[in-house]
Amino acid sequence: MLVYGRNVAVEILKKPEKVQKIILQQGFDDKKILTMIEKSKIPYSFRQKKEIDCLADGVHQGILLYVRDYQYYTLGDVLNSNPSFVVILDHIEDPHNFGAIIRTCEAAGVDAIIIPKDRQVQVNATVMKTSVGTLDCMKIVRVSNLASTIDQLKENNFWVVGTALENSVDYRSIDYSGNIALVIGNEGSGISNLVSKKCDFIAKIPMYGTTNSLNASVASGIMIYEVIRNRKWGYFGL
């Protein structure tokens, strides 16, 4: 996997064993990164800017890193660690949304993120860059079927909370004190009908302005921290 940019380079170089090689632009002068590269003993080379521009599909800031592909976890791996809060992404397509959700989940202490193998953005360079170094701290499970995965979670005493505007209740009225699987739907179509039928609760975030929906990563942030708030201060706490 090819990733680029100085901020993501700093985070990745904290665990240099994942980096295979590095390409720097001629004249690259970030002393902090250069010191980290030297200490890591990762092979690197210098190239002209036009060569790097051809390799990177975005703003690279003069540094490219070739890293090993992300190694997904299995649902069994996660269930064996006695999780209490997981997030399910129902076919998120935007890598920036996915990366932002990973970052929020890591900050909130979510145990794992579950994604489907098809019609869902996978972990790629954009996701890694947007997650800003939190990807290695987050367990991401890739499954073939979300509906059957939800059944397995229910067998392990999880309550499943979906998000939608129709046939739903205010997200603040739900008790999140048990094991929770929070479902975030597709940016355009929301959660699928089959997944919706599997949910124990359908929550909505009230809208008070002219818009009738929120960006998927924003909505997930609100919902995730409501679960955390509920657990910290109790149902209907302050």
Q: Is the pLDDT of residue 236 over 60?
A: no
Give the closest residue to 88 by CA, choosing from 168, 204, 197, 185.
185
| The predicted structure's pLDDT at residue 173 | 92
Per-residue pLDDT reduced to its tens digit, 109-142: 999 999 999 888 998 888 888 887 788 889 999 9
**Exposure string over 135-148, b if 16+ CB within 10 A, otherwise e:** beebbbbbbeebee
Per-residue pLDDT reduced to its tens digit, 85-96: 999 999 999 999
| The predicted structure's pLDDT at residue 233 | 67
Q: Is the pLDDT of residue 234 over 70?
A: no
C-beta of residue 83 within 8 angstroms of C-beta of residue 114: no
